[in-house]
Amino acid sequence: MMEFLLDLLFPPKCACCGRVLASPRVNPCPDCARALPLQPDASVLHTGPYGLCAVAFRYEGGVRDAIRACKFHGRQSAVQALAPYLVQAAAEHLPGQFDAVTYVPVSPKRLRERGYDQARLLADAMARQWNTRVEPTLRKVRHTKAQSSLEGAEERRKNIAGAYAVLPGAAVAGRRFLLVDDVVTTGSTMAAAAEALRAGGAASVVCAALAAPEGENFENKP
């Protein structure tokens, strides 16, 4: 009943195109769902300086709009609606490879401005699927320029290297992690976060990202 009233007052909108949904529980809308840039099978599992990464979408079209809406316009529902696709990609490509779910955090300043961490929203969905809780394990220890403002892979790698450290008291040693982020482009951010977990004694780290640009070849391969 409550849900019905809420839907009436605030009709749920499609995560991708923003139109009011005909059936409120189906998000994104059927038109957008059909047009989502799902990764072709062969490239769903990327390899980069971070190790293995399951990727659900190409970073374009409705998915890019949804991620930007989430980052810059405070629409958490946009990324939450796409999270099930990432759950599926990880279930298909990384089965049995992790026991704990964590994420690449934004800086405390960014978190205050935005009110939520979009990678954590995705990690929450992953954790629910695997009947566990998200474990925050990392923090950003120094300010970095926005990766999207930098041109080359080398510049991005330098900008972010050493920017993450294990949170004091986080149980990292000897454990196998799934590390979640929203977008992986050159892979430098994911690599820096994975490196911090490994330096903290993690037994292994595999990654999952909602989207990666098409043809991304991860210039800084190991």
The residue ranges that bind Zn ion (CB under 5 A) are: 14, 16-17, 28-29, 32
3-class DSSP state for residue 55?
strand
As measured in angstroms, the least distance from the Cβ of 67 to Zn ion is: 15
As measured in angstroms, the least distance from the Cβ of 31 to Zn ion is: 5
CB closer to Zn ion out of 38 and 45: 38
Helices (H) and strands (E) in the chain, counts: 8, 7
**What is the dihedral angle through the alpha carbons of 3, 7, 8, 11, rounded to the nearest 10 degrees?**
170
CB closer to Zn ion out of 29 and 210: 29
3-class DSSP state for residue 102?
strand
As measured in angstroms, the least distance from the Cβ of 58 to Zn ion is: 17
CB closer to Zn ion out of 44 and 63: 63
- Side chain identity, residue 198: R
CB closer to Zn ion out of 65 and 195: 65
Round to whole Å and give the CA distance between 146 and 149.
5
CB closer to Zn ion out of 82 and 193: 82
As measured in angstroms, the least distance from the Cβ of 59 to Zn ion is: 18
Round to whole Å and give the CA distance between 217 and 219.
6
3-class DSSP state for residue 113?
helix
CB closer to Zn ion out of 51 and 62: 62
3-class DSSP state for residue 217?
coil
As measured in angstroms, the least distance from the Cβ of 10 to Zn ion is: 17
As measured in angstroms, the least distance from the Cβ of 87 to Zn ion is: 20
3-class DSSP state for residue 70?
helix
**Could you tell me which of 87, 123, 90 has the C-alpha nearest to residue 105?**
123
